[in-house]
Amino acid sequence: MNENLLKQCQVKLREELVQTRASFVRDLRTNTNPVILELAKELESTSPSDWIDSINEKICPSQFPSYQRLVQIEAALCQIDIGQFGFCCDCEKEIEDELLEQDPATQRCAQCCPNKVPINA
């Protein structure tokens, strides 16, 4: 992967991370469940790096698409940190640049996830 694409993806992911965290807390605040409302308050006073542990115990992740996206973004950023970004989680081949440009949090190449075919394919 070229260094320019890696940097672009990293910037895009970090920007989306901030927006997605805010969206997730807003989603929690609109819920009527007292446990979830309390979680929203807790997250507002907790470092985002500690969120995942607090969240997994108190919600059903599938109820909150913004949370699912948050996990995807954080996984991609972690992969950048450890030098594994841009490799398919199934076959371990490089993910096509076009797919990473479309969604830097993508985890699979076009072959392993055929419904995510690159635009130029």
Q: Do residues 27 and 66 make contact, with C-beta atoms less than 8 angstroms apart?
A: yes
Q: Quick one: DSSP state of residue 121?
A: -
Task: Indicate yes or no: pTM above 0.75.
Answer: yes
Q: Which two tokens stand for residue 86?
A: 């841009």
At 36-72, the pLDDT tens digits run 999 999 998 888 888 877 787 788 888 899 999 999 9
Q: Which long-range contacts (CB under 8 A, 24 or more apart) does 96-103 make?
A: 96/121, 97/1, 97/2, 97/5, 100/1, 100/5, 100/9, 101/5, 101/8, 101/9
